[in-house]
Amino acid sequence: MVSDRPPPWNYSAPLARRPAIHQSQKPQAVNLLMGYAQLNATFTLDASLVDQSHFEEVKTKGFLGGQAGGGVVGVKKPRPNSGFLGGFNLNSIGGSLNSLIGGDNMSSVKEMNAVTNSRAIPLLSTPQSLLFVDMHLEPGEEQSYSYSYPLPRGLPSSHRGKAIKISYNLTIGVQGLPGSRDVHTVRQVNVPIRVFPGVSRDGEIYGHDLMQPHVILRDLARTKPVLAAEGHEEITTSTTPGDERPTTEFLTFVDTLLDRNRRRQSSTGTMDAFSNSQDTGSRGKTLQAVDRAIVYSNSLSDGDSSPNRFEIARTGQRVAVIVIGRPLHRLGETITAVVDFSESEIAASSLKATLETSEKVTPALAVRSVATINRITRKIYGARWENILFSKRATFSFSIPASATPTFVTSGVNLDWSLRFEFGTLKPIESEEGGILATPDLLEEVVNDEKSTVNVAVENVECETFEVVIPITVYGDLVPDGREGEEIVGIPI
């Protein structure tokens, strides 16, 4: 008898197919509609040290999403009709490049509330500058562009302190061509940059009013393609002759719009004739001004005291004379101070020297006392202790870190550099004859016989301490962030 059922070992069920191993996708060419760069700066304040209620109105003066502040709240601006050039017509000739990016509008109540609730307070806002239009890149092909923007005078330096934090960012974004699924998606990256304060011809550091941010509506940037390395061909985009003509016409049209519509220069009024006064040699002029100020920092005029020599006295009696190399320095330099005790009238036993910074808050904005703010915001870059009992001279040297923040001045918070000296002096005592002994006995006799006399140091000595603060000025300098010849790594978008 034979069963119709096959034996179990002959039973074969259909096995699940393994997914086919797909080969890695081949790199595809990239078509980009446009690319832009934008520079902006903001600052934040510590509410426990600075009263922020004074800056609520300042928040509405900045940019949000590339749009300028102002307008009618709650009224939505019309969107472009259709196509890439839909926003460019005679009725909206004053529109900026921001409408092309598809950014949000400042006139919505939602975004006005977002600005008010944000901790960041605008310091500098610039329009978006066009880098390229209609770019085609083959796999492995690269294109580089240079972007330069003249900064207004008086901007404070980049700083991450306790009372205030100031940050500058360069935003770079690109957008795909119409027809792709992410045509309205802008890929962007924020690159933090470091800024140093401006200096006048006499070496004076420019100040800035925190209540008046620089809102620049005119595009003052200079952009251009960067040539390839020497011996190679220039990097260009792969476009057909038919595609080059619309691109050129579009760039010409945009330049015409920007030149024709000046709008207003700035919300602060400090940008008057700014574009005419700024040129490519402004950086060299600033360095020359710093060099000139340092060279003449120790020069004396009739009737003036020495700017680098300080006589220290206590109760009318001389303690020491402090001489520093010069009162003006750059980042990365070394400060040298010599303390002379040769003609002192009060004996000093110890000396502590520190190189430090502190943030000074304007009394009208300060929430706490000056002493409390100074203690919280104090930052020490170098300290040294010396036992100077019976010494004639002491020397101190401190290096200013290249990564530190130079001196800056604003209407609300300043950053000051200083050398602090803490003296420990022996307290004068009355002698048996009724006179005053400047130096008390530091030895006491323990053994005295016909053979010898043994003296030991006293266990306790009455001392007094006091501090002396010498202000100095630290300028920014062209300090490289890495080693010379270090490879520059790009940030992908």
Structure tokens that stand for 285 in this block: 């002029």
Q: Are 32 and 84 in contact (CB under 8 A)?
A: no
The order of strands in the sheet holding 328-330 is 328-330, 463-475, 413-426, 348-361, 379-387
CA-wise closest residue to 357 among 238, 469, 223, 194: 469
pLDDT of residue 340: 95
Give the contacts of 379 (CB within 8 A, at least 6 positions apart). 161, 356, 357, 358
Domain with CATH 2.60.40 in the chain: 305-475
How would residue 372 be classed by pLDDT, with cut points 50, 70 and 90? very high
With 0-12 CB in 10 A as exposed, 13-18 as middle and 19+ as buried, what is 211?
A: middle
For 274, phi and psi rounded to 5 degrees? -70, -45
Cα separation, 24 vs 18, whole angstroms: 17
Tokens coding 15? 């096995």
Q: What SS3 class is residue 271?
A: coil
Contact between 268 and 213 under an 8 Å Cβ cutoff? The reply is: yes
Residue 377's CB is within 10 A of a number of other CB atoms, namely: 21
pLDDT at 323 > cutoff 90: yes
Structure tokens at 465: 């301490």
For residue 109, how far is the Cα from the chain centroid?
32
Of 2.60.40, 1.10.287, 3.30.1380, 3.40.50, the CATH number of 305-475 is 2.60.40
> The whole model's pTM is what?
0.71
Q: How confident is the model at residue 466 (pLDDT cuts 50, 70, 90)?
A: very high
Helices (runs of H) and strands (runs of E) counted in the chain: 7, 24
Q: What is the mean pLDDT of residues 164-181?
A: 84
SS3 state at 138: coil
Predicted pLDDT at 200: 87
How is the chain split among helix, strand and coil, in percent rounded to 5? 15, 35, 50
Long-range contacts of 260-266 (CB under 8 A, 24+ apart): 260/93, 261/93, 261/94, 262/218, 263/94, 263/217, 263/218, 264/217, 265/216, 265/217, 265/218, 266/152, 266/214, 266/215, 266/216, 266/217
In angstroms, rounded to a whole number, what is the distance separating the alpha carbons of residues 394 and 322?
Answer: 10
pLDDT interval class at 296 (50, 70, 90): confident
CA 303/CA 222 separation, integer angstroms: 49
- 68 has pLDDT over 90: no
103, pLDDT greater than 70: no
Q: Is the dihedral of CA 244, 248, 253, 258 positive or negative?
A: positive
Cα separation, 179 vs 184, whole angstroms: 10
Nearest to 90 by CA among 263, 264, 261: 261
Average pLDDT score over residue span 300-322: 82
